[in-house]
Structure 1
């Protein structure tokens, strides 16, 4: 089940970008892959994109965005790529979808089999300027936008809803983590028979506002109308005024006065047919719910600035690790996560403390991380202490001293598990140790000189074993 996301794509290239031109190409290809204009990378053949294919993809993106079709990654094109947007691909990839895109709107290919749908909010923001009743009312009116032009009806219920709405942060249980302020805004799941079908999640770390101007937050009503379009089965539209355009356009003004553009009306009619005897519904059209929103713009809540994300193109990573078969790259109090196929889970860095809860609140950096083969627990090293996690939860009685491992140093530079023998290796300066996890004891004869490992460069920051048995070394800003 593929969800739809609102995302601000802070485009960054590979970890070894050196020239500005190469950096921009990497950014553009990242973006075009993510949103469907280029096929995803093939992890088996590692096929490169031809210049012709890249040019055609850029022209398709420019045509969809309504800008000049130059076929090059000019500043106007890169500017569009940097805008907040929904991360559901613009081109889903099938010939049927491409055929229907000539109608401007696009359909996701699935619909609800019933016309009366129930909804509820399971969790609210814990720290937010919008009150709960205002949030409820804005969501209610966002649903009403779609029921006014379709046979669908949306009813609030206290439990057992078809559409469950929640505000969460980081990993919140659906496999699509949020990444803190300024990145992914929300995501929604298309209709279907899956337990999460129709569910809609908003990032709790965003500054949610209503009917405000400028960049002092994100309008909840505008995002909700877009996401509920995905909930009923609409994909993205290239029409200039469509609420289903991929890009977040700001506030829609007074929620009670908002009317869907005609392109979106045609799209929902293709899915569910025309509404019989369309009428203007009053704000109290759902007898189970009494909406109440202010008739003037709601005051701005306290603005939470976006974190100053490090640029993974130029940073020197503090630590790298293979955890559950995925690569994690750590810098300061942020991390990036890369899947087995080489795709980033999020283009933005995520906050370490939002994911692994139990590390120091004032965390500055991670020295090293590894996953134990004996029990799949994750071990973090910071200075002379270490923490053990079961998944993302720290175990009791931690942190403890690294002297538990038989180490007589005040910190470690690198740790990794060698799949060849199942042993854990610790590195500090020009020495390394070999640890037996099953015996919970350091092997005799250690430490030894790092120079025994042929080809290891000086200034080692960290090492990890990769899925193909190779070892990835981070040193002096380079990943080898």
Structure 2
């Protein structure tokens, strides 16, 4: 694995950055390399501390053991070639060679977090990467989830700079004592757990070409992030060739959503933080066959599809703005609209394959919204609600809506966070409540009549705040727009929701003529999802796109 200079209670010494040894020899450069990565102590001519030939041979054997090479003790061609490979710049030997004498191949740094729920935040994004901010956030989310799926750790994204793990994309000198060097060589670094403000922080060199593509010759952000976060959690390098914590870069790791830590890393993280509780099943771990979406491969898979609702007919049960994207729920399915107002697919995905933990026998989702204080997702079904951290259900779900301060018998028909004031609103019939997510209860003076929102009918299907600052009310096949902080519908409304949001033609209630879904030459009634091998045809990796591929099955 590549690119991590880790500091903390076991901060590596700072050595000059020597050039890597070239193919045909270079004992002096080999010594420098061994010194840089902790196999040899730095020479001290003033105290006559010179490295002996025997010490050099022992150091080479240790290095060869870490690299999975034959332990010859000589700077042979294979050893020199390995020294020239991209790798992490954290020393392999921290303190003494005791790590190499461990019976287990994983190794701990000696630092560990005293808690099991850690917070994280992305402080800055790459400036020149082809990845969007949403894609970067999604990749980092899955990199952290690889560790939480294998242990008792949980990660909560927060908006505060006091987060345990702060992620930054920086250039050159960036005020942590470990400057980046531009493209190549040192790509990122992380800091071991501890009490120092910088402990756990993870920095990526913004001058690198960060991508997500299993076939491209560039730095795979997901693979590097999994390795770096391992250091931020307290793991040192491993001698296991299958370990993500091996010092040498191993290339792309496949689909982030399906990635599972190798056994060596799983054992290592569990010795620090314990196993995941049995009552909280791992999120997004699948035991099913090959998923539909295989990024970078040209593949079509056809599977029988259960009956799905028509997006152009009738109304939606619930609509929600989640992570800046709009989700349309209808019966047991949903559609997803990206920031660009493009549907991810005209075919709906199945809710129960995405949010595992909801009941399988529900007739419809009544309302959904993303909570403002912790970004958790709240589902209302009848007079109960479920809380999800992304796609993992919280313990204690479901709970009665009376826990929110609502009167008994209330079914929340619509819910949204108003961008104008950051408050949450619940609607039922002809009345609504304002809710304080931070206090966890309905505010005094509610309910109030829905007529205060001028121009909309009672019995709403749902309400959302969109990224343009407007608020949209939906009922049946119609919707109303409220500009900014206005409480009066904009002129020219209502309009057709199927036409404007679902790309349907003709009458709002018209249903397209039935026909084969597969297209020319494809089995009707089945599902075909293809992706090309070239970078230009890669699917957009917006938040949860890989989970969505599973849900579409």
Inter-partner Cα distance in structure 1 for 2:236 and 2:203: 17
3-state SS of paired residue (1:64)? helix
Cα 1:43–1:196 change in 2 (3 A) is farther
Number of the residue aligned with 1:68: 70
- Does the CA-based 8 Å contact 1:211-1:254 persist in structure 2? no
CA RMSD of aligned residues (A): 2.9
Shift of 1:20: 10
Number of the residue aligned with 1:357: none
Inter-partner Cα distance in structure 2 for 1:135 and 1:80: 30
Inter-partner Cα distance in structure 1 for 2:202 and 2:534: 25
Match of 2:82 among 63, 80, 102: 80
- Which residues in structure 2 correspond to 1:55-204 (within 5 Å)? 55-94=57-96, 97-99=99-101, 101-159=102-160, 160-204=162-206
For residues 392-421 of structure 1, what are the alpha-carbon distances to aligned partners after superposition, in whole Å with 9 as ceiling and x for unaligned? Answer: xxxxxxxxxxxxxxxxxxxxxxxxxxxxxx
3-state SS of paired residue (1:103)? coil
3-state SS of paired residue (2:239)? coil
3-state SS of paired residue (2:26)? helix
Cα 1:57–1:96 change in 2 (3 A) is closer
Shift of 1:64: 1.7
Shift of 1:273: 1.6
Alignment coverage as a number of residue pairs = 288
Number of the residue aligned with 1:11: 19
Inter-partner Cα distance in structure 1 for 2:531 and 2:112: 36
Shift of 1:175: 0.4
Unpaired runs of 5+ residues, structure 2, are 1-7, 285-353, 357-374, 378-388, 392-528, 537-553
3-state SS of paired residue (2:47)? coil
Shift of 1:86: 0.7
Shift of 1:186: 0.5
Unpaired runs of 5+ residues, structure 1, are 14-18, 302-480
Match of 2:37 among 28, 35, 38: 35
Match of 1:287 among 360, 366, 376: 376
> Which of the two has higher C-alpha Rg?
2
Inter-partner Cα distance in structure 2 for 1:4 and 1:113: 23
Inter-partner Cα distance in structure 2 for 1:298 and 1:260: 26
- Does the CA-based 8 Å contact 2:109-2:234 persist in structure 1? yes
Match of 1:48 among 42, 50, 62: 50
Cα 1:4–1:51 change in 2 (3 A) is closer
Inter-partner Cα distance in structure 2 for 1:258 and 1:151: 17
- Which residues in structure 2 correspond to 1:441-456 (within 5 Å)? none
Inter-partner Cα distance in structure 1 for 2:133 and 2:273: 31
Inter-partner Cα distance in structure 2 for 1:203 and 1:269: 30
- Does the CA-based 8 Å contact 2:12-2:90 persist in structure 1? yes
Q: Any runs of at least 4 consecutive aligned residues in structure 1 with deviations exceeding 6 A, and if so which?
A: 283-286
3-state SS of paired residue (1:26)? helix
Between Structure 1 and Structure 2, the one with more strand by share is 1
Number of the residue aligned with 1:259: 260
3-state SS of paired residue (1:178)? coil
Cα 1:248–1:20 change in 2 (3 A) is closer
3-state SS of paired residue (1:86)? coil
Shift of 1:210: 0.7
Shift of 1:12: 5.1
Cα 1:162–1:54 change in 2 (3 A) is same
Inter-partner Cα distance in structure 2 for 1:165 and 1:280: 24
- Which residues in structure 2 correspond to 1:431-470 (within 5 Å)? none
Number of the residue aligned with 1:229: 230
Inter-partner Cα distance in structure 2 for 1:284 and 1:297: 28
Inter-partner Cα distance in structure 2 for 1:95 and 1:85: 20
Inter-partner Cα distance in structure 2 for 1:203 and 1:161: 20
Inter-partner Cα distance in structure 1 for 2:218 and 2:97: 38
